[in-house]
Structure 1
Amino acid sequence: MAGLSIKDVTKRFDGASALDGVSMDVADGEFLAVLGPSGCGKTTLLRLIAGFETLTGGCIRIGEREVSSRHVNVPPEKRRVGIVFQNYALWPHMTVAENIDYALKVARISRAEREERVRRALALVNMEQYGGRRPASLSGGQRQRVALARCLVAEPRLVLFDEPLANLDVHLRASMEDEFADFHKRTGTTILYITHDQAEAMALADRIAVIDHGRLMQLATPQTLYHEPANEMVASFISQGMVLPATVESPEIDGHCRVRVLGQELVVRCRKGERPRKDARICCRASQLTAVTARKPGFDGTVTRAVYRGGAARIEFEPDGTPHLGLHFEQPDPVTFAAGSRARLALTSGWLIPVVEAA
């Protein structure tokens, strides 16, 4: 088991930056998810840590050992890093036990030690009874557990997951999330988990690193990302947050300040030291929007779409005078809003997005 340190890591391909000055530290035994839209640099980061790519600048350490820099590039097989891929990558002509044993055999480990390590790895993923089977006879979830066992048998210092649940159906993914969480709890292995699935990251990770266009946007716990996004990208990306223009009308007191949003005044949460300013932005969630009567504080607009989802509907709404500003909220049964109907909404709370300081 080992921690991971990434300092000012940059990677360029033909002059274009895939990663730009990314820094983060993963503690021993921590489960860190790396989250971001397609093409943001997640997989490039994993490949740099594994040693499949050489970096352009910066430094990567696993434990106390420097494994990548402009002057050092430790080969992948000497980094003691395990990788669980999206496509399992199991040998179809080998049994489960033979797949797990293969790397140990190549490393010339004695037969007795290999058998014991394979047995322990199968036990860790609850697959002891499947050692003699071929991969084709297993379910997708079982194959993923075999891939995990094959990774663990090499006793890696760090385990990298490359979107391991992307090829599984919804029900199996939920089951495998439980498997991964249980595995991490039992072994205490340091894990870096690449995914584009927010629910997956929120369910599994101790902390989440959000990356966009090769830059680290925020590294925080799932709760902090949701309730206190550091910038507009994180605010809108996490859980379909809505970013609204606001004017800050009072300084911060006890973590709150008064703002005006779409003509409505309300108190929102904010960072310490916030001062009155124009051109501010707040982040709000669907649960913080509610329909109100004409006499209540709020703002008017038109329902553009109502999408029924069983027991409730997602109501999409455009405030008057700001047609580009699409809002949404949930209405439980009975659903009374329809496309084209008029409504008045009110914000009940929100988070004042901090000013992004220039680098």
Structure 2
Amino acid sequence: MAGLTIANVTKTFGDYDAVKDVSLDVRDGEFLAVLGPSGCGKTTLLRLVAGFEKISSGQIRIGSDVVSDASGSVPPEKRRVGIVFQNYALWPHMTVAENVGYSLKVAKVDKAVARQRVADALSLVNLDGLADRRPANLSGGQRQRVALARCLVAAPSLVLFDEPLANLDVHLRASMEDEFAAFHKRTGTTIVYITHDQAEAMALADRIAVMDHGRLAQLAAPRDLYREPANEMVASFIAQGIVLPARVLSAEQEGHVRVEVLGHEVVVRCRPGELPRADAKICIRSPDLEIAGKGEAGFDATVTRAIYKGGAVRVELSPTLQPDLHLHVERQEPGSFEPGSQIRLKIMSGWLIPNGKPA
């Protein structure tokens, strides 16, 4: 296997930068998810790594080999990169074994060797005994595993996934997440996994790269991404974070500051070295908001909508001091949340969004 290095890569279409000055270092054996909204550049980045598009500037290395730079580009078939597509791309007239072994046939690998490699690849993805079936006789999850086996049989140094679960229903997605996690643990393959689904990325990846308008917004472990977003875009994008204007009043103990937000003072987490400032913003999550008890400090808000979600209610609110802001809380217990009713809320915790570029 091999790691992946993307150094200051830009891809321009006409006067539009689909990918802009992106640098990533994917460690050997790492599972990296690339996450972002539609149009953020994540699929273009995958196509650049695969060799389907040529970079406009920068450099891409797989292991120690330069595969793309200003002087040229190594063809996709010579990069030893495996790709698992969203739509499987299986030949319907071929059996499972024939689909998986097609690249070996083209490469004129000895038939006995090819049969063994196909059998090994099918075993890796738990498809033993299905070699003679046609794709039409398989479930969606099984077809996805055939596509994965076809990728693995060529012994790639790097595997790219292009939103592989997007076409599966909910219960199959959960099952395939388990399959991908088990596969990565068994093989130690270096994986770059393109997705728009945050739950997938959080469940599977060692680290997540969040992209925004062609740029890398943040690269971090899932927990750090959730708890310590580097900027306002990441804060609001990840797990529907709530971004609120705040004033930093003072530094408290290391890694914490006292802020005023919506007329309510609260201590929130921060990067070391933060100083008092007026133009700050904090990120809070739904669990950070609680209904204030009688006499407790907090701020008033108006219920705008209550949505039943099966065992819980999502309550959407507008704070009285700034009605243009939108808050939401999840409530497990029954209660009356009629639109127009008033609730007093308190902020229990949060994160001070760093001022300027991420460190």
Counterpart contact for 1:66–1:72, Cα < 8 Å: no
Relative to structure 1, is the Cα distance of residues 286 and 55 closer, same or farther in structure 2, using a 3 angstrom cutoff? same
Counterpart contact for 1:29–1:191, Cα < 8 Å: yes
Counterpart contact for 2:231–2:358, Cα < 8 Å: no
1:1-359 alignment, distance < 5 Å? 1-251=1-251, 253-357=253-357
Letter of the 1:114 partner, please give it. A
Task: Measure how far apart 1:322 and its partner are.
Answer: 1.1
CA–CA distance in 2 between the matches of 1:139 and 1:245?
49
Kindly provide the CA deviation profile for residues 220-279 of structure 1, in whole angstroms up to 9, marking residues without a partner as x: 000000000000000000000000000001125321111101000111101000000011
Task: Measure how far apart 1:301 and its partner are.
Answer: 1.7
Task: Measure how far apart 1:32 and its partner are.
Answer: 0.1
CA–CA distance in 2 between the matches of 1:251 and 1:307?
38
Q: Which runs of 5+ in 2 are unaligned?
A: none
Task: Measure how far apart 1:312 and its partner are.
Answer: 1.2
Relative to structure 1, is the Cα distance of residues 309 and 18 closer, same or farther in structure 2, using a 3 angstrom cutoff? same
Task: Measure how far apart 1:46 and its partner are.
Answer: 0.3
Task: Measure how far apart 1:286 and its partner are.
Answer: 0.2
Counterpart contact for 1:12–1:18, Cα < 8 Å: yes
Task: Measure how far apart 1:358 and its partner are.
Answer: 9.6
Counterpart contact for 2:288–2:347, Cα < 8 Å: yes
CA–CA distance in 2 between the matches of 1:322 and 1:334?
27
SS of residue paired to 2:174? helix
CA–CA distance in 2 between the matches of 1:119 and 1:310?
44
Letter of the 1:101 partner, please give it. G
SS of residue paired to 1:249? strand
CA–CA distance in 2 between the matches of 1:19 and 1:101?
34
Task: Measure how far apart 1:335 and its partner are.
Answer: 2.5
Greater CA deviation, 40-49 or 253-262? 253-262
CA–CA distance in 2 between the matches of 1:229 and 1:203?
18
Counterpart contact for 1:252–1:274, Cα < 8 Å: no
Counterpart contact for 2:262–2:321, Cα < 8 Å: no
Counterpart contact for 1:297–1:346, Cα < 8 Å: yes
Letter of the 2:262 partner, please give it. L
Task: Measure how far apart 1:331 and its partner are.
Answer: 1.3
What TM-score, normalized to structure 1? Answer: 0.99
Kindly provide the CA deviation profile for residues 179-212 of structure 1, in whole angstroms up to 9, marking residues without a partner as x: 0000000000000000000000000000000001
Letter of the 1:84 partner, please give it. V
SS of residue paired to 2:72? coil
Relative to structure 1, is the Cα distance of residues 252 and 27 closer, same or farther in structure 2, using a 3 angstrom cutoff? farther
Kindly provide the CA deviation profile for residues 142-175 of structure 1, in whole angstroms up to 9, marking residues without a partner as x: 0000000000000000000000000000000000
Relative to structure 1, is the Cα distance of residues 246 and 56 closer, same or farther in structure 2, using a 3 angstrom cutoff? same
CA–CA distance in 2 between the matches of 1:173 and 1:26?
25
Letter of the 1:57 partner, please give it. S
Counterpart contact for 1:252–1:273, Cα < 8 Å: no
Task: Measure how far apart 1:294 and its partner are.
Answer: 4.8
Question: Identity of aligned pairs, percent?
Answer: 68
CA–CA distance in 2 between the matches of 1:228 and 1:63?
30
Q: Which runs of 5+ in 1 are unaligned?
A: none
CA–CA distance in 1 between the matches of 2:60 and 2:231?
26
Kindly provide the CA deviation profile for residues 8-65 of structure 1, in whole angstroms up to 9, marking residues without a partner as x: 0000101100000000100000000000000100000000000000000000000000
Counterpart contact for 1:52–1:76, Cα < 8 Å: yes
Task: Measure how far apart 1:324 and its partner are.
Answer: 1.3
CA–CA distance in 2 between the matches of 1:215 and 1:115?
44
CA–CA distance in 2 between the matches of 1:173 and 1:349?
33
Kindly provide the CA deviation profile for residues 331-357 of structure 1, in whole angstroms up to 9, marking residues without a partner as x: 113132111111111100100000114
Relative to structure 1, is the Cα distance of residues 124 and 220 closer, same or farther in structure 2, using a 3 angstrom cutoff? same
CA–CA distance in 2 between the matches of 1:104 and 1:293?
68
Task: Measure how far apart 1:86 and its partner are.
Answer: 0.2
